[in-house]
Structure 1
Amino acid sequence: MQRVRVSSHQSPVHKLGESQMTLSPKFKLAATCSALLDPALQFELSMRGEPLIPGLPDDVALQCLLRLPVDKHTACKAVSRRWYSLFGSKEQFFTLRKELGFHDPWLFVFAYHKCTGKIEWKVLDLTHLSWHTIPAMPCKDKVCPQGFRCVSIPHEGALFVCGGVVSDVDCPLNLVLKYEARRNRWTVMKQMITARSFFASGVIDGMIYVAGGNSTDLFELNSAEVLDPEKGMWRPVAGMGAMMSSYDAAVLNGKLLVTEGWFWPFYVVPRGQIYDPSTDNWENMAPGLREGWTGSSVVMHNSLFVVTEHERTKLKVYDSGDDTWDIVEGPALPEQICKPFRVSCWESKIYVVGRNLHVAIGHIVKLGPSSTCEKKCRFSVQWQMVDAPGTLFDLTPSSAQVLFA
């Protein structure tokens, strides 16, 4: 296992950008637009002989500067007027990165303080392994963090937070918020048709689906709806075959898989439902799939992986042919990752965020069949540990999403 220490106990968590929000008591969001790079100013400075980097053409220099870590931007602004113009606006910086084809992953973690319940987002730069903050999410103060559901459209750098519940009055929310990494700002979107918490969610073909969950007084729902992010409109879809809240959900082969999960004392076998948007129908989940779904899931290599919570935190993968689960070869989750943990993934890496925001990065390798007569594929994992700075030691994760910017 490879181990990486990001920073010492006293290391600060850097701001990804200054907040551009002004919130009213009713969650109204007023964002002030920062000016983009002034082409006239840049042309004037370049004609005066002020290059971005002396001795380099501006296009080459720009390629270099756009690779600088975000936490270095404040110091870089003092170098010259052109550097100040480049690094003075996070929106401009990430817009230029997108235009020039930069595509780096960031791990966005929705976390809360164990003692106060205060919620906030922390962001791990997966290239430089440094932590950052983003503007505060516009919502009520007293909320249950686990009641929200977060989904993302990674390549668009868009993150969506839906639903939730006000903790002191047990009142579900129909709130929908969108965060754009390029703009580093939140916007309030059209509300869900039905207020809900602890529900299933997933993105299929760019559309955001939500289903089930809890209504007022923990009454379970079977309704479902879908959001078109481009149009900003919700519409209902077929209801689930059962009223149930969701422990976990995943999107596999264009379908939304929903499980209510195991609960102590494990007397009742969990239910599971699968939604197919092409037919707008729900069907019951296979017994082996729902009974073996004992943790948080991700989808990689067109397979469903689960980091188990009841089996010494081993990683396992579902075999749809046999309706069974197979243990992934390799070590168990590093002992520094304590429950509750949240998972996300991209390509062949799985990111597991534990209490105090320690992160384990699992490198997944697809292996061939163990023998000529066996057809099923096998997988192995090796873990890389990323210790969080001491400033994050009071935080517990509630969701983890990978975005690109």
Structure 2
Amino acid sequence: MQRVRVSSFQSPISKMTLSPQFGLAEIQSSLLDPSLELELSNRGERLIPGLPDDVALQCLLRVPVDKHSTCKAVCKRWYSLFGSKEHFFTRRKEFSFHDQWLFVFAHHKCTGKLEWKVLDLTQFSWHTIPAMPCKDEVCPQGFRCVSIPHEGVLFVCGGVASDVDCPLNLVLKYEVCKNHWTVMTKMITARSFFASGIIDGMVYVAGGNSRDMVELNSAEVLDPNKGTWRSVANMGTNIASYDAAVLNGKLLVTEGWYWPFYVVPRGQVYDPITDNWENMATGLREGWTGSSVVMYEHLFVVTEHERTKLKVYDNETDSWCTVEGPPLPEQICKPFCVDCWDNRIYVVGRNLHLAVGHISSPCPRGSSTKRCRFSVHWQVVDAPESLSELTPSSAKVLFA
């Protein structure tokens, strides 16, 4: 198992604010004017002397975020490029640069303050983004977060006001290229502890708790382009969701389980094509004992019991198989949250320590083996001491 020590140095992503008493705000504004960059270019002032600007830009757009403050001091053109995160990431998008960033929604275990921390998965450095525009007295676990990774977009929905135990219909949108939160149209129904997922770019939410902790059976969908919600078919039963996943174009919702199993967990599956819900297969719902991700068109679960092993669901036999390899590293303490990309699964535990699970490729096509076998090996990334008071609620991979 490989361990990586992360530097405790942090550089904020949010925009720098300058004191007006020194008259620097106007200077900064003029230096960030796009027309100035064009004017300097026309004068022959190169981004990097001796290199064409298109080549130089390819180099500079790869500079890590924590080095931007230093780079701004080089010259006016560098200040223009590195002085605005929106401008920098917009230019990266134009050049089709896509680096992975892990966005972690966490709360301080003593103050309860909500925070978003961002881990650059290339440089393994932590950063911050602006605070969400929501009230302070909220339960972090009541929110649901979904993302569209390649668009660099994150949605935060619902929640519950902990001071009055009242569910919320809040919807917030964060865009990496703008480093900015937008308040979207509210959900039709206020809900907390519900299921959520993105199918074909549409945001689906279902079930959850309403006022007085009454479970819901309603569901709705958001069209992010239009910014409008509409109702879809009600679920077959009232469910407050423990976990959810999107597999083969369908939304899988599990009620969850209690240890030991005092009650049999319920589960529902939604097909957006037919706008219909059906009961989840018995083996699938009874073996779903942890937090899920979808990789290789298979549902994986990081179990919260069973020695915290990783397991995968076999649709043909309606059963779960243990993934070969060691259990989740002991440094990753519950509660934890998970996400994945490509062949890696990211598990963020208490104090924001991270385990990266490298999943082996499944059986090649044409193999005589009917059931694909997977294996995992873990890499641990220790978070800096400054994050030791944080507990994660959600983690999402975005590209920027």
Same fold (TM > 0.5)? yes
**Inter-partner Cα distance in structure 1 for 2:31 and 2:104:** 28
Q: Does the aligned pair in 2 maintain the 1:35–1:89 contact within 8 Å? A: no
2:199 alignment partner, one of 191, 204, 220? 204
Q: Which residue of 1 aligns with 2:10?
A: 13
Q: Which residue of 2 aligns with 1:26?
A: none
Cα deviation code 1:354-378 (max 9, x no counterpart): 0000011111112438xx7641101
1:179 aligned onto 2:170: no
CA displacement at 1:115 relative to structure 2: 1.4
How do residues 325-344 of structure 1 correspond to structure 2 at under 5 angstroms? 325-344=320-339
1:261 alignment partner, one of 256, 281, 284? 256
SS of match in other structure, 1:378: coil
Structure 2: segments with no counterpart, 5+ residues: 18-28
Q: Which residue of 1 aligns with 2:281?
A: 286
Q: Which residue of 2 aligns with 1:321?
A: 316
* Code of the aligned partner of 2:197: G
**What is the aligned-residue RMSD (CA, Å)?**
1.7
* Code of the aligned partner of 2:53: D
Q: Which residue of 2 aligns with 1:29?
A: none
Q: Which residue of 2 aligns with 1:25?
A: none
1:244 aligned onto 2:248: no
1:136 alignment partner, one of 131, 142, 147? 131
How do residues 80-95 of structure 1 correspond to structure 2 at under 5 angstroms? 80-95=75-90
Q: Does the aligned pair in 2 maintain the 1:362–1:381 contact within 8 Å? A: yes
SS of match in other structure, 2:89: helix
**Inter-partner Cα distance in structure 2 for 1:194 and 1:127:** 39
1:103 aligned onto 2:107: no
Q: Does the aligned pair in 2 maintain the 1:238–1:281 contact within 8 Å? A: yes
Q: Which residue of 2 aligns with 1:355?
A: 350
Q: Which residue of 1 aligns with 2:396?
A: 401
2:300 alignment partner, one of 301, 305, 320? 305
How do residues 154-173 of structure 1 correspond to structure 2 at under 5 angstroms? 154-173=149-168
Alignment TM-score, normalising by the size of structure 1? 0.93
CA displacement at 1:42 relative to structure 2: 2.4
* Code of the aligned partner of 1:350: I
1:124 aligned onto 2:124: no
**Inter-partner Cα distance in structure 2 for 1:35 and 1:242:** 59
**Inter-partner Cα distance in structure 2 for 1:342 and 1:100:** 32
SS of match in other structure, 2:132: coil
Q: Which residue of 1 aligns with 2:4?
A: 4
Q: Does the aligned pair in 2 maintain the 1:12–1:391 contact within 8 Å? A: no
Q: Does the aligned pair in 2 maintain the 1:178–1:188 contact within 8 Å? A: yes
**Inter-partner Cα distance in structure 2 for 1:82 and 1:342:** 41
SS of match in other structure, 2:264: coil
Worse-superposed segment, 391-400 or 40-49? 40-49
Q: Does the aligned pair in 2 maintain the 1:366–1:377 contact within 8 Å? A: no
* Code of the aligned partner of 2:255: E
* Code of the aligned partner of 2:391: T
CA displacement at 1:38 relative to structure 2: 4.3
Worse-superposed segment, 40-49 or 54-63? 40-49
Q: Which residue of 1 aligns with 2:22?
A: none
Q: Which residue of 2 aligns with 1:30?
A: none
**Inter-partner Cα distance in structure 2 for 1:250 and 1:284:** 15
* Code of the aligned partner of 1:128: Q
Distance 1:78 1:380, change over 3 A: same
1:295 aligned onto 2:290: yes
**Inter-partner Cα distance in structure 1 for 2:362 and 2:277:** 33
Distance 1:373 1:83, change over 3 A: closer
The percent identity for this pair of structures is: 78
CA displacement at 1:255 relative to structure 2: 0.2
Q: Which residue of 2 aligns with 1:114?
A: 109
CA displacement at 1:39 relative to structure 2: 4.9
Q: Does the aligned pair in 1 maintain the 2:363–2:369 contact within 8 Å? A: no
Structure 1: segments with no counterpart, 5+ residues: 21-33
Cα deviation code 1:152-202 (max 9, x no counterpart): 011111000000000011000000000000000000000000000000000
**Inter-partner Cα distance in structure 2 for 1:299 and 1:221:** 26
4+ residue runs over 4 A deviation: 34-39
**Inter-partner Cα distance in structure 2 for 1:17 and 1:184:** 7
* Code of the aligned partner of 2:224: P
* Code of the aligned partner of 1:17: S
CA displacement at 1:266 relative to structure 2: 2.1
Q: Which residue of 2 aligns with 1:50?
A: 45
**Inter-partner Cα distance in structure 2 for 1:19 and 1:49:** 29
Alignment TM-score, normalising by the size of structure 2? 0.94
**Inter-partner Cα distance in structure 1 for 2:368 and 2:327:** 28
SS of match in other structure, 2:308: coil
